[in-house]
Amino acid sequence: MAARRSRIPATKYPVERFTLDNGLRVVLTPDRSAPVIGVAVVYDVGIRSEPEGRSGFAHLFEHLMFQGSENLEKLAHFRHVQGAGGTFNGSTHLDYTDYFETLPSNALERALFLEADRMRGPRLTEETLRNQVDVVKEEIRVNVLNRPYGGFPWLTLPPVMFDTFPNAHDGYGSFDDLESATVADAADFFRRYYASGNAVLAVSGDIDVAEATELVTRHFGDVPARLAPQRPDFTEPDLTAERRTSYTDALAPLPAVAGAWRVPDPVTDFAGYLPYVVLAEVLTDGDASRLVERLVQRDRTVTSLGGYLGFMGDPFDVRDPTALLLQAHLPPGGDVDKVLRTMDEELDRLATDGLTDGELARTQARMATHLLRDTDAVLGRALRMAVLEQQRGEPGLLNELPRLVGDVTEEQVRAAAATLRPERRAAVEVVAGGAR
């Protein structure tokens, strides 16, 4: 009897797209159900874009974009958003940097003015640069250097799997690289990557499309036109032999291990990529999942386990090359080799014997619930649509993602599991130096 397929509906958020004469792509998705808007600007520049000798620069620049702009002094952006009852932030990813606000809908023009003003040019000074270098260095100390498992595995695994600087280097940056950055470097980075032709603006929520279009054109239309830079080719060959390394974490109380396998290109081979997204959840999501049931509950060889696509954990905002990751923390004296062997056994068993009745449908329903929840809020919708436009030119794909996840078949999941062989794996082990 054929396995039951998960029936998952598509959402129907409307999508309006247009491009300004200066190259800025715009996505509008109206939703009049509540007087709230989400505004997101995504620039096609991320950790992989930063040049050698400037590690951490993409993240540093994210900080600099909040330090004043063409018409606003330092901290004015904060005051204008918070004064309207809104919230704001930004974040740096492997393939993009985003800036975003959630505001009452009557503050739409305020948000558009603020984002257009810093798109024209941030206020780059020696004082601001040195101050933000110190801020980023302190962030590295807090999040990596002085924290158990800091940077594991998103910083520690790429240099095992990859050979080129864009894919393998530390995206937080070295102190030497950060300290040697100059205002001229920052200005050149802005001219190259923060071009209107290299950006997407998305607005979601309580908007009138005609009015929003007029406001967007008014505030962004005269931003100087600069074309998007040619995107480098970050392609690397797949592994043909397992790569392993280990390091001692002086603060880690327990050993840990992470393994990763290359997966199909998430943009050009989306149909081939989706089964791996589902596979990661089948293996690790929930107490009934394959690896949790085996490693945590039955064998008790690990204390916690996780699996996901992409080194930063979001499968739908990453380009190639990327990977499926499995990571686990072990009890004191745990056997990393045994854990990896058990993972291999379970992958073989899944590929050979298939899934149990209801296992796939249960996983897909849970994944669809998460997708629907993440885009229920207007800001989540704006961010997802902006990235889908940036990387694929398909913001409306947001409506289809839950259904596409539900369309993945057991045969596709089994075939994906069969490709996760030890000889294609990169793995990094954390030796617990903080155990008493």
pLDDT tens, 6-20?
577 788 999 999 999
For residue 58, give the nearest of 156, 176, 185 by alpha carbon: 185
**pLDDT higher than threshold 60 for residue 339:** yes
Burial class (CB in 10 A: 0-12, 13-18, 19+), 107: buried
What digits encode the pLDDT tens for the residues 43-64? 999 999 999 999 999 999 999 9
What does the pLDDT read at residue 10?
Answer: 80
What does the pLDDT read at residue 313?
Answer: 87
- Contact (CB, 8 A) for 422 and 388: no
Burial class (CB in 10 A: 0-12, 13-18, 19+), 132: buried
Q: Establish how many alpha carbons lie within 13 A of residue 191's alpha carbon, considering only the half-sphere containing its beta carbon.
A: 6
What does the pLDDT read at residue 3?
Answer: 46
For residue 228, give the nearest of 189, 202, 192 by alpha carbon: 192
User: Token pair for residue 91?
Assistant: 């974040």
Query: In angstroms, rounded to a whole number, what is the distance separating the alpha carbons of residues 21 and 225?
Result: 8
State how far Cα 269 lies from the chain centre: 18
Pairing mode, if any, of strands 199-205 and 25-30?
A: parallel
Query: In angstroms, rounded to a whole number, what is the distance separating the alpha carbons of residues 315 and 308?
Result: 7
Structure confidence at residue 1 as a pLDDT band (50, 70, 90)? very low
Higher pLDDT, residue 237 or 70: 237
What digits encode the pLDDT tens for the residues 268-281? 999 999 999 999 99
- Contact (CB, 8 A) for 423 and 239: yes
Phi-psi region of 52 (alpha: psi -120 to 50; beta: other; left: phi over 0): beta
What does the pLDDT read at residue 434?
Answer: 78
What does the pLDDT read at residue 70?
Answer: 80
Q: Is the pTM of this model over 0.85?
A: yes
- Computed over every residue of the chain, the mean pLDDT equals 95
What digits encode the pLDDT tens for the residues 192-248? 999 999 999 999 999 999 999 999 999 999 999 998 899 888 999 999 999 999 999
What digits encode the pLDDT tens for the residues 138-192? 999 999 999 999 999 999 999 999 999 999 999 999 999 999 999 999 999 999 9
**pLDDT higher than threshold 80 for residue 323:** yes
- Contact (CB, 8 A) for 122 and 67: yes
Structure confidence at residue 2 as a pLDDT band (50, 70, 90)? very low
For residue 113, give the nearest of 19, 226, 223, 210 by alpha carbon: 223
